[in-house]
Structures are given as structure tokens and as C-alpha cells.
Amino acid sequence: MKIAIGYLVLLLSIGLAPEGSAAVAADITSAYPGTLSLKVDLGDASRRIFHVREVMPVSPGPLTLYYPKWIPGEHAPSGPLQNMAGLVITADGETLPWRRDLVDMYAIHLIVPQGVHDLGVAFDFLSPTSGGEFGQSVSATSNIVDLEWNQVLVYPAGYVSKAITFSASVKLPAGWQYATALEPHHSGSGDVQFKSVTLNNLVDSPLIAGEYFRQVDLDPGATVPVYMDIVSDGPENLVITPEQIQHYRNLVQQAYKTFGSHHYDSYHFLFTLSDNTGHFGLEHHQSSDDRTWADYFTHPDTTLVGSGLLPHEYTHSWNGKFRRPYDLWTPDFNSMPEKDDLLWVYEGLTEYLGEVMTARSGLWTREDYRQALALTAATMDHMPGRTWRPLQDTADEASILYYAPGAWHNWRRNAGDFYAEGTLLWLDVDTKIRELSHDHRSLNDFAREFFGINKGSYVTVTYNFDDVVNALNKVQPYDWAGFLKHILDTTQYHAPLEGITRGGYRLVYTDQPSKYEKASDKVRKQLNAMFSIGLQLDMEDKNKGAVQDVLWNGPAYKAGLAPGMQIIAVNGRAFTPEVFRDAIRRAQSSTAPIQLLVKNLDYYKTYAVDYHGGLKYPHLERVQSQADYLDQIITPLK
Ligand SMILES: [Zn+2]
């Protein structure tokens, strides 16, 4: 792309680029005139290149184009601008010069010449081949493509996203099938043209496509249908048992009973089963982009560990999309930052309700639920970082912490904490309502009160802290502001486990891992000994024994270990998980420290860990004198 020098002088002289202009405030009253046409050619998807062609009605004069930066659901300025290449802007067949804003690099400034009414924009999206988080992770394989529209478009600045209309189409590789919440206008020979939608709805409606595809009807006969659409790298991963389908059908009904509403015309779980793509879930009003292990339906360990994903993303249709923190709502994807301080509601409550519904729908047994909760509670109860960073701050800094390294998680704390501690917080609220109301009310009443409004509408209704407190007070009068603030702002070492004790259980440790923890370690290829010697180790073949994390001030920390080291031998014997566990077991009846031969980059050293407490794995133990609220909470709603 060449910049015509004369043109640049013009840009400078009228105060556009390149000195860096402030974001263009979105006009919230007027609609953008005309419809933007967007064609995405996915014919090269297996090479991970998406070709983009846009035609935009314009008026002569200065114009700023935005590439989406703040991505809803990712809670961060994570739009993958670095993957945009080959940008060419044309008018009447001529290439136009453009200049990037020096402050907001997601903004591109240009001048539309006199007499020009349509602008052509073309670029290639270089979909990643490795690494990345969420939508920036691998999204295309030989047989799959997961398309997020925000990655393949630019839009005119100065208008709210719901005032800009797009007519979008995709070209798919021959023979591939697709799914999306968008409605097709017509399709033929691999081209699918969708009905025109507003920009916010387009970005809210990702598309998956693949050679191996299966659709499962999760609410047969319903006027508002719910589907699970699955793509995978091979046909063997599309095998689902009738029992698994029934659990997901239960999930839909349990969600309707929990919320007393729905906020979509139809709903699509867009489910990618692949060991080659990134693994995450991204919520939308009428769909979710859910990506997990290839053998999710066919291997009991991955089924157990992965079952919470779809209930979590589905819950977001109510909590996060339909009802959203006021400062996470933005008029477009660029002109205002998203603020993350209420993510302990958006994500924390979703994590709690999602896991409860995983159990209510039968995806988890009651025992599975308790085992997963025990692991969450123990993890949060071994989090020395709680002494300097309160839960509230993990949300406040979320847009950075989502991208924090895993090393020293327990001292740094990360964005996962308002999910895990959010679970404990909302269990605390749920059991407190049950106790105060003498079992007459529960968080189910709050869910209907808060999310059960405007049935069928997917126009976002925002809320703030006081709205949450007021809704809780309507269900059960109490000092909820004080109650919540205490958990959000405390810097005490121990996690809020009152919900578990009020729920009729206590957190205990034995020398045997639960089925859930065993499966979790196996699927994640790790060895979790954080609750005993204070180490979490990598079990990947190429990295076996590498230290992923060390409990701050724990036994291994005091001996001198740190993330990034690798355990080579234990008490003089080559490292294996069995040798490691056996050494911890034997040290219980000895005063001799455990000797760890450790590789630290190019050097080897032996560290003596003075630990004699044995293996420790968390479990929930029933306290008979307390009502079993936990069991009531996960009982399917009638
Ligand atoms: Zn979420």
C-alpha cells in the first residue's frame, strides 16, 4: 500500500491523522445511511486465511473506520488487529490513501473524494496457527472453521453498532455444512447470504462450519428451538449417546425453570470438538461459541471435566448478554472501554448457576458436583494472593489478568478467581437466603426476579451494584450490600467457605483424590500437589516434571523451588508421578526432607523440602447436624 504524498499533506492540514485523534464518540440518535455489504470467503479456511470484501455506502469527506477492539464477552481490548493484512481501500476503481491513528491503532483515517458514494474495503484475516486466547486462538483446521465476524470487518466510526446494518455472506469450502444464529436469506453452491442484521447482532452471531457436522434438536417441537450444532476433525467425535442428548435437553428445561424466561428467537450451541483449536467458550444472546476436547462425548474423563462448559455459556444468554453490568455495555466496539468491576456477577454468578444446572440436568451426578466444588474451594483456600489482592481487584484488572501467565497464580491471582470465588460467593448468598427465609426462598427466586423480565427480548437491560442488592432484598431483606462488600473487599487468607458449611458440608483432605480431581489432572496433563507439598507439575510428555506453580510460602517455596524449574529426580530416583507421590507418602513417617533434583535452565541443583504432611486431596464431608442445602440446590426444578 502506497501513501500518496500530496494526499497525506491534505490529511495533516485538516487535522485528521497522524497526530492521533481521540476516539470518535458514537452518535446514539441516527442510523448509518445504507447497508454495508460484507463477503467473507472461507474457501482458504484450511490454510487459515479468510478473505474479506466489504462495500460501504459513504459520503465525500473525512471518514474514520474502526476494526473492532473491545470484544463483548472477552472483557478486554482483544480484537486481533495484528492478524489483519493486505488492506486496500478503493473508490471507483482507484486505491485511496489511508493513515492509522497513532493513539488508537484500531482506527483508520481517510478522505472520501468528491463524487464517491461507495467505498470498497478488502483485506485478509490471517487466522492464527498457534497460541492466543479465546477468539485469538486457533480457529480453523483442515476440516473446521470457527468464524467470529468482528475479526473480518471494519465499520464507520461515529454510530452505535445497532444503527449500522450489514448484509453478510460467506463462501464455504465445498461440501461443508454450517451453523449460526443468523438467518439465511438464500444459499447455493457453498455461498450463503444472510438476512441483513445490525452490526451488534452480526458480531453476536458467530458461525461454525465443517466437513463433519451434526445437529441435535435439544427442544423437539418447541416454537423457540434450541440446537446443538457440532463440528469436529473426524466423524468419530460426533458420536453422542441418547443419555447425553437427554442431559442437554434437561439443561434447556432446567434453565427455563430457573429463569422463567428466554432471551432469543432460537438458540444454537455452536460446539467445536477438536484438539487442534483453542478451547474456550464465548457467550452470545442466541448462541455460544463452545470449543473443547475432541473426545468430549466419547471419553468419560473429558466428559466429566468438560460438562460445565455449555451450561455456563447458556446461562450467559440471561446473565451477561440480556442483563449486563452498565459499564460493560458500550455503544460500539471502539469508542468506549469495557469496565470489568462487576464481573463477579457477570462471570461469578454464571459460574455458580452454570455448575448448579450441570448437576440439575444430569450432566454431573450429585457426587460429581460436590467433588468439583471441593476442588474449587480448596484451590481458592490456597491462594496467598488473597492477602494483598481482594476479589474485587481481580475483576477491576480483568482485561489484563485474563492474559497473565499461570505461574505464581496463587500469589498474583488471576481472572479465573472471580469465577471460582464467585461460585463460593453465590453459594454463600443462596444458602443465606434459604436460611433467612426458613427454606421458603432461594437464589432461584432472585434468578426469576432479575432475569425473568422482558421474555423473548434480547435487548440488553443493564444493572449496577445497587440493582443487584435491591433485587436480593426483594427476595429476602438483609444487609446484602454489607454482605457482598465484605467478601469482595476482604484480604483475609482463607476463602469464603460459609456457603459450604451452611450447605451442610465441610472441606476436608484425605490422601486419595476424588474421581473428578483425578480426571481433571489427567485431562489437563498436570499433577496437582498444591494442597500438600505446594507444587503443580506439568505432565505433558515433552515437559514432564516442569514446575507450573509453587504455593507462595508453602513447603516447596521455602525449599527454594519456583515455576520454570523442572524436577528431574526425587530422592535420587528418576522423576515419575508415582515416584513423586511415593516420596511424599514415605516422608510422613520420616524426619528426612524430600530431596528434589531440579533443572533450572542449564544448571542442576538438589533442593531439600521439609514436608511430612502426606498427600492431601480435597473432599466435601457431610455434616449431619446441618440441613443438606447443597443437595436441595442441585435437585432438578419441577
Ligand atoms: Zn463466562
Tens digits of per-residue pLDDT, 192-227?
999 999 999 999 999 999 999 999 999 999 999 999
Distance 58 CA to ligand 1 centre (A): 37
Q: How confident is the model at residue 3 (pLDDT cuts 50, 70, 90)?
A: very low
Tens digits of per-residue pLDDT, 72-120?
999 999 999 999 999 999 999 999 999 999 999 999 999 999 999 999 9
Distance 416 CA to ligand 1 centre (A): 10
Rounded to whole angstroms, the Cα distance separating 261 from 512 reads 42
pLDDT at 27: 72
Distance 282 CA to ligand 1 centre (A): 7
Residue 544 has pLDDT above 50, yes or no: yes
pLDDT at 23: 64
Distance 623 CA to ligand 1 centre (A): 32
Distance 319 CA to ligand 1 centre (A): 9
Among 215, 218, 496, CA closest to 381: 496
Distance 392 CA to ligand 1 centre (A): 17
Distance 499 CA to ligand 1 centre (A): 21
Q: Where are the alpha helices (DSSP H) in 235-308?
A: 242-259, 300-306
3-state secondary structure of 9: helix
Would you say the C-alpha torsion 136, 137, 143, 146 has a positive or negative sign? negative
By the CB criterion, residues less than 5 angstroms from ion ligand 1 are 347
**Phi, psi values for residue 396, rounded to 5°:** -55, -35
Q: What is the mean pLDDT of residues 454-462?
A: 92
Q: What is the mean pLDDT of residues 577-591?
A: 98
Residue 182 has pLDDT above 90, yes or no: yes
Rounded to whole angstroms, the Cα distance separating 490 from 50 reads 47
Distance 245 CA to ligand 1 centre (A): 23
Residue 158 has pLDDT above 90, yes or no: yes
Tens digits of per-residue pLDDT, 11-43?
333 334 444 455 677 776 799 999 999 999 999
- Sequence-ordered list of residues with C-beta below 8 angstroms from that of 433, at least 6 positions apart, any chain: 441, 442, 443, 445, 446, 472, 475, 476
Tens digits of per-residue pLDDT, 602-611?
999 999 999 9
Tens digits of per-residue pLDDT, 225-245?
999 999 999 999 999 999 999
Rounded to whole angstroms, the Cα distance separating 225 from 214 reads 16
pLDDT at 29: 76
Rounded to whole angstroms, the Cα distance separating 4 from 8 reads 6
Would you say the C-alpha torsion 160, 161, 162, 164 has a positive or negative sign? positive
Distance 376 CA to ligand 1 centre (A): 16
- Judge whether 321 and 351 are in contact, CB under 8 Å: no
Distance 273 CA to ligand 1 centre (A): 19
- Chain centroid offset of residue 398 CA: 12
- Sequence-ordered list of residues with C-beta below 8 angstroms from that of 17, at least 6 positions apart, any chain: 11, 99, 100, 101, 102, 109
Distance 544 CA to ligand 1 centre (A): 31
Distance 394 CA to ligand 1 centre (A): 15
Mean pLDDT for the chain? 95
Distance 345 CA to ligand 1 centre (A): 10
- Judge whether 529 and 549 are in contact, CB under 8 Å: no
As to burial, measured by CB atoms within 10 angstroms (0-12 exposed, 13-18 middle, 19+ buried), residue 268 is buried
3-state secondary structure of 320: coil
Distance 2 CA to ligand 1 centre (A): 43
pLDDT at 11: 38
For 499, how many CA atoms within 13 A lie in the half-sphere containing its CB? 28
DSSP 8-state symbol, 50: E
Distance 73 CA to ligand 1 centre (A): 7
pLDDT at 16: 42
Q: Return the amino acid letter for 589.
A: S
Distance 316 CA to ligand 1 centre (A): 7
Please give the grid coordinates belonging to residue 479: 444487609
Neighbours of 578 (CB within 10 A): 9
607, β-bridge pairs: 596
Distance 500 CA to ligand 1 centre (A): 23
Distance 281 CA to ligand 1 centre (A): 7
Q: What is the pTM of this model?
A: 0.95
Q: Is 625 left (phi over 0), alpha (psi -120 to 50) or beta?
A: alpha
Distance 348 CA to ligand 1 centre (A): 8
Tens digits of per-residue pLDDT, 290-343?
999 999 999 999 999 999 999 999 999 999 999 999 999 999 999 999 999 999
pLDDT at 397: 98
Please give the grid coordinates belonging to residue 512: 486419595
